[in-house]
Amino acid sequence: MGRITLDKVRKAFGDVQVIPPLDLTIEDGEFVVFVGPSGCGKSTLLRLIAGLEDVSGGQIRIDGQDATRVPPAKRRLAMVFQSYALYPHMSVRKNIAFPLRMAGLDKAEQDKRVNAAADVLNLTDYLDRRPGQLSGGQRQRVAIGRAIVREPAAFLFDEPLSNLDAALRVGMRLEISELHKRLKTTMVYVTHDQVEAMTMADKIVVLRAGHIEQVGSPLELYRAPRNLFVAGFIGSPKMNLIGGALAAQHDATTIGIRPEHIAVSTDAGDWHGTVGVSEHLGSDTFFHVTCEGIAEPVTVRVGGEVALHYGDSVWLTPDKSQIHRFDTEGLRIA
Amino acid sequence: MATQHSRSAARFMMAPAVILLLGWMLVPLTMTVWFSFTRYLPMRGDSIERGLEWVGFENYVRFIGSSSFWPSVQATLVIVGGVLAITVVLGVLLAILLDQPFWGQGIVRILVIAPFFVMPTVSALVWKNMMMDPVNGMLAHLWRFFGATPVSWLSEASVQSIILIVSWQWLPFATLILLTAIQSLDSEQLEAAEMDGAPVLSRFWHIVLPHLGRAITIVILIQTIFLLSIFAEIFVTTGGSFGTRTLTYLIFQRVVDSQNIGLGSAGGVYAIILANIVAIFLMRIVGKNLDK
Ligand SMILES: Nc1ncnc2c1ncn2[C@@H]1O[C@H](COP(=O)(O)OP(=O)(O)OP(=O)(O)O)[C@@H](O)[C@H]1O
Ligand SMILES: [Mg+2]
């Protein structure tokens, strides 16, 4: 079981309020991702849940029980740190066994659980090495191993993949998702990478300056961002946000249209413009088109390869049903 | 070819320093070894110009056969060991304390380091006259305040007193090195251990202490080299009596008090051998610790 409830949780460092009163429920077995720009308080929120920071106000409940003043070790939560925080003078086996040793389990049980975890994480060949002799991905797996042997109520991850290279990151992303499917334990995962958030989460919590901007499944956030911040944050490449007269035509202050919802034609369409820089990914091509009457270049996504070049004249047609409208406050108009 | 060229240039430029160092060390060493095989009593008119009488190993046999030799080795080891134990244990504790954020941290850190800048002679005098004097010393006042009879420290607990004085001088060094080592400990490791269910003492034992291992060996190595030759503290306080005559002090007495340079030189050679045994022993431990 691992249902975590935050009730008006608040955190201030001195006079600086980092987390204003915040309510959030994380259901048992859910994979929740906190996402937001750097410095928005994601780590702080995670550390509050872990008990590594004391709350300045409010209540944290784990499985319905008040855990606000419970020390970290007693919360039955396991954390994986960004720096892995492995114990450098201990072998991998000792690292993974450390929480079990602290819990006073006997040697046989320790070995059994360590071997099981090593099996799951493909670490069996490295058990007698020290962390210094492992690659980044292997260290990450040791850190995860140390977390899973405790059989915690929930896992907390603080940007666990940010020290890995892009290819390894994709691999580890899948491994963590798979681990979640297998263990069915609650996971709270912090990242500033919206791709990680979209691919892994059951539920995404978008944070800005300690505020929750929106909570929802990846597709809910993609389809119906509640405000301009979420609209700009979720989706890659970013949604085109257009103001001025064009937005007024749709009775809005700002309209948003995702690059994948714009059709390109060389002879007819709604908006006329010239092709700027294009980015060829093979599977897709992104064009940055400067349109008449639109301040910012419009990003367009086209499947496959398209024979358009710098300076070519094109017509863009947005899919009317996919236009997001926002009012003066930046909130979504239904 | 460039590298070979620059290598020989480097050798050429290093030569003066190397020659100076060699002379600095080799000349006294050779003279000591030479004197140790001769009868050299300046009071009886022996001198280098007149030629010294070669006596073979006589000085070595006499130095080791003297009833003061083994006690002096023992006193040396006890004092060095005692100071090491105190400075390392208190050094670790002080370093942990100084690492905590508290008001006035800067000033306290400077105060803790201060004893290191006091000359050994001065600090020994201060301890002897201000702290340990059986009539006017601070400790005597303290003892009388509690109705106890003041202890005459330097005669009744002479070895302990010397250990105390020397520890006071070397504690700052140990604290400083250990403090920098503690500051380099990744705080996430401690937090991870906390979440893994390790209480404060376990965290100290399993995380902090292993992290300090390397720094502790370095403190022990460097201090041992200097502690083997402490002199001023003994000269100023007990003058080598009451069981505080270390090997260094015994050599000094043989040369200066008994005016027997040959005998003293033989003692010097023994001291070199002892220091090397200790050094090899320590280097092995350090080497093992640095490998990790
Ligand atoms: N111990 C502290 N004392 C004072 N301010 C702090 C402390 N820890 C964090 N903060 C402040 O709280 C805010 C949120 O920090 P936090 O580390 O939670 O951000 P984050 O969302 O994790 O950012 P990143 O993505 O860069 O890791 C920042 O403005 C930071 O300066
Ligand atoms: Mg962070």
Is the residue at A189 inside a domain?
A: yes
Q: pTM of the full predicted structure?
A: 0.81
CB pairs under 8 A between A and B: 58
> Would you place residue A253 in the very low, low, confident or very high pLDDT band (cuts 50, 70, 90)?
very high
Look up the CATH number of the domain holding residue A314: 2.40.50.140
Provide the sign of the torsion angle of the four alpha carbons B53, B58, B60, B65, taken in this order: negative
Which homologous superfamily is B67-259 in? MetI-like (1.10.3720.10)
- Residue scoring higher pLDDT (B244 or A98): A98
In this prediction, residues B283-292 reach a mean pLDDT of: 69
Q: Domain range for residue A255? A: 237-326
Residue B242 has a pLDDT of 83
Provide the terminal-to-terminal Cα distance of chain B, rounded to the nearest Å: 37
Gap between the Cα atoms of B289 and B216, Å rounded: 10
Per-residue pLDDT tens for A166-212?
888 888 899 899 999 999 999 999 998 889 999 999 999 999 998 99
Cα of A192 vs centre of ligand 1, distance in Å, is 13
Do A37 and A180 belong to one domain?
yes
Do A224 and A246 belong to one domain?
no
Do A172 and A285 belong to one domain?
no
Is the residue at A255 inside a domain?
A: yes
> Would you place residue B291 in the very low, low, confident or very high pLDDT band (cuts 50, 70, 90)?
low
Backbone torsions φ then ψ of B198, nearest 5 degrees: -90, 120
Does A102 contact B202 at a Cβ distance shorter than 8 Å? yes
Cα of A38 vs centre of ligand 1, distance in Å, is 8
Per-residue pLDDT tens for B123-165?
999 988 888 888 888 888 888 888 888 788 877 888 888 999 9
pLDDT at A279 over 60: yes
In this prediction, residues A65-72 reach a mean pLDDT of: 91
Percent of chain A with pLDDT over 70: 100
Is the residue at A84 inside a domain?
A: yes
Do A164 and A309 belong to one domain?
no
pLDDT at A232 over 70: yes
Q: What is the largest CA-CA distance in chain A?
A: 76
Gap between the Cα atoms of A79 and A46, Å rounded: 9
Backbone torsions φ then ψ of A107, nearest 5 degrees: -60, -40
- B207 inside 8 A of chain A by CB: yes
Per-residue pLDDT tens for B156-167?
888 888 999 999
Closest ligand, as measured to the CA of A157: 2
Number of domains in chain A: 2
Residue B6 has a pLDDT of 81
- A87 inside 8 A of chain B by CB: yes
Is the residue at A332 inside a domain?
A: no
Dihedral, CA of residue B98, residue B99, residue B100 and residue B105, to nearest 10: 50
Residue B109 has a pLDDT of 84
In this prediction, residues A274-299 reach a mean pLDDT of: 90
The answer to ipTM > 0.95 is no
- B195 inside 8 A of chain A by CB: yes
Does A52 contact B191 at a Cβ distance shorter than 8 Å? yes
Residue B1 has a pLDDT of 54
pLDDT at B236 over 90: no
Percent of chain A with pLDDT over 90: 67
Do A51 and A92 belong to one domain?
yes
Does A102 contact B210 at a Cβ distance shorter than 8 Å? no
Q: Which residues of B touch A86 (CB under 8 A)?
A: 189
Do A84 and A29 belong to one domain?
yes
Do A223 and A244 belong to one domain?
no
Does B197 contact A146 at a Cβ distance shorter than 8 Å? no
Gap between the Cα atoms of A193 and A234, Å rounded: 10
In this prediction, residues A277-302 reach a mean pLDDT of: 90
Do A225 and A249 belong to one domain?
no
In this prediction, residues A136-153 reach a mean pLDDT of: 90
- Residue scoring higher pLDDT (A110 or B109): A110
Does A73 contact B195 at a Cβ distance shorter than 8 Å? yes
Provide the sign of the torsion angle of the four alpha carbons B54, B58, B63, B66, taken in this order: negative
Gap between the Cα atoms of A77 and B166, Å rounded: 49
Does A87 contact B193 at a Cβ distance shorter than 8 Å? yes
Provide the sign of the torsion angle of the four alpha carbons B132, B138, B141, B143, taken in this order: negative
A 34-63 residues with CB < 8 A to B:
50-52
Computed over every residue of chain A, the mean pLDDT equals: 91
Q: Which of A44, A79, A156, A157 to mutate to test the pocket of ligand 1 (most atoms within 8 A of CB)?
A: A44
- A36 CA: nearest ligand 1 atom: 21
What residue's CA is closest to ligand 1, atom 24?
Answer: A38
Structure tokens at A22: 């915040």
Residues with a CB atom less than 6 Å from ligand 1: A 13, 18, 36, 38-44, 192
- Interface test with chain A among B184, B185, B188, B195, by most A beta carbons within 10 Å: B195
- A45 CA: nearest ligand 1 atom: 18
